[in-house]
């Protein structure tokens, strides 16, 4: 083929729009992060670099409230992500290693239901459910709601990973007299591990970040970090809120980055 004078694939301006897109996505987050290091009481003027608002989060007047909220958030996220990942791993094994079966499409519909129903509808429905059976709202209701909501987020990376693993590995193990259970725990599970870890981390972040469902099913006086932040923001954005937000933001980014590299490292094996 003759050399072209221009690249048919390239369009002028697309690179600029891509740059604009990244700016839009990142600038607000960066601005808030930078201002969280402002030494001023006010969020309007920049008065120099300081970490006083970070100190304020840990020892300031509102620190007790934030500590409880953070503890609740992490407690719920660890348990919800663990349970959801376990359920999702079993489900993925059935869906990918179970051959074709009649309920397969229906099962997948059920698994992805939390993704299709708008979050606020899930929140309303869950609240109505707990209230109608007389289940008192508190940490436990948040936890149960999060487990269900996190399942599809854990399921997707796990099933994607399992699809990439041929069943010849288990077959070989079983030819060598491994039981199915051994083939699962000794062969399949280790091979799936990158998918499982990445599913766990995503479920963890989804739970940690959730506001809408938590806001509906939490009892009075029970707060997680997002609901505490929301309550505080309603009174106006204060610098200590920006410090907490920046920490949470950094935490999420670190988790997602780990998840990315774990699932990538799995690909090269």
Partner 1 sequence: MAGGAASGGSTQGDTYKEARNWLLLPAWVTLSILVLLPVLLMLVYSFLTKEFRGGVIWEFSLGAYDQFFFDRGLFGDEPPKLEWTYITIFWRSIWQAGLATILSLLIGFPTAYYIATRSEKVRPLWVFLITIPYWVNLLIRTVSMRFMLREEGPINNALVWSGLADSPIQMINTNFAVQIGLFYSYLPFMVLPIYAAVERYNFSLSEAASDLYASKWTTLRRIVLPSVRPGVVAGCILVFVPSMGAFLAPDLLGGAKNFMIGSLIEEQFKGNAGNWPFGAAASMILLSLVLIILTLYARQQARANKAGA
Residues 116-145 that bind partner 1 (CB under 8 A): 116-122, 124-129, 131-132, 144-145
Q: How far is the CB of 7 from partner 1 (least distance, A)?
A: 9
Strand partners, 49: 38
Told to check if 192 binds partner 1 by CB under 8 A, we report no
DSSP symbol at 186 = I
Contact 222, 68 (CB under 8 A): no
Told to check if 78 binds partner 1 by CB under 8 A, we report no
Radius of gyration of the chain (CA): 23
Told to check if 97 binds partner 1 by CB under 8 A, we report yes
Told to check if 11 binds partner 1 by CB under 8 A, we report yes
Among 80, 197, 245, 266, the residue binding partner 1 under the rule CB under 8 A is 245
Distance CA 72, CA 74 (A): 6
Distances, alpha carbon 55 to alpha carbons 153, 239, 267, in Å: 34, 11, 42
The contact pattern for partner 1, residues 150-189, with x = CB under 8 A and - = no contact, is -x-------xx-xx-xxx--xx--x-----x--xx---x-
Q: How far is the CB of 65 from partner 1 (least distance, A)?
A: 17
Q: Other C-beta atoms within 10 Å of 243: how many?
A: 26
Told to check if 64 binds partner 1 by CB under 8 A, we report no
Told to check if 40 binds partner 1 by CB under 8 A, we report no
Among 27, 55, 189, 258, the residue binding partner 1 under the rule CB under 8 A is 27
Distance CA 181, CA 184 (A): 5
């Amino acid at each position: 083929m003759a050399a072209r004078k221009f690249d048919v694939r390239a369009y002028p301006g697309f690179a600029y729009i891509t740059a604009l897109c990244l700016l839009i996505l990142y600038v607000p987050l960066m601005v808030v992060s930078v201002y969280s290091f402002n030494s001023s009481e006010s969020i309007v003027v920049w008065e120099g670099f300081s970490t006083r608002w970070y100190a304020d989060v840990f020892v300031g007047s509102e620190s007790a409230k934030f500590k409880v909220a953070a503890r609740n958030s992490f407690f719920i996220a660890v348990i919800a992500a663990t349970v959801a990942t376990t359920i999702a791993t079993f489900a993925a094994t059935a869906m990918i290693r179970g051959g074709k079966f009649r309920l397969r499409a229906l099962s997948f519909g059920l698994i992805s239901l939390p993704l299709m129903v708008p979050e606020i509808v899930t929140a309303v429905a869950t609240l109505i459910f707990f209230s109608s059976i007389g289940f008192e709202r508190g940490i436990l209701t948040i936890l149960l709601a999060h487990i269900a909501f996190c399942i599809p987020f854990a399921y997707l990376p796990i099933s994607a990973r399992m699809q990439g693993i041929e069943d010849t590995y288990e077959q070989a193990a079983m030819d060598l007299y491994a039981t199915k259970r051994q083939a699962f725990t000794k062969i399949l599970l280790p091979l799936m591990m990158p998918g499982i870890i990445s599913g766990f981390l995503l479920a963890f972040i989804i739970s940690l970040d959730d506001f809408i469902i938590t806001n509906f099913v939490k009892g009075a006086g029970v707060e997680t970090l997002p609901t505490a932040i929301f309550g505080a923001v309603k009174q106006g954005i204060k610098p200590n809120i920006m410090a907490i937000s920046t920490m949470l933001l950094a935490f999420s980014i670190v988790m997602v980055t780990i998840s990315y590299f774990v699932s990538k490292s799995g690909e090269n094996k």
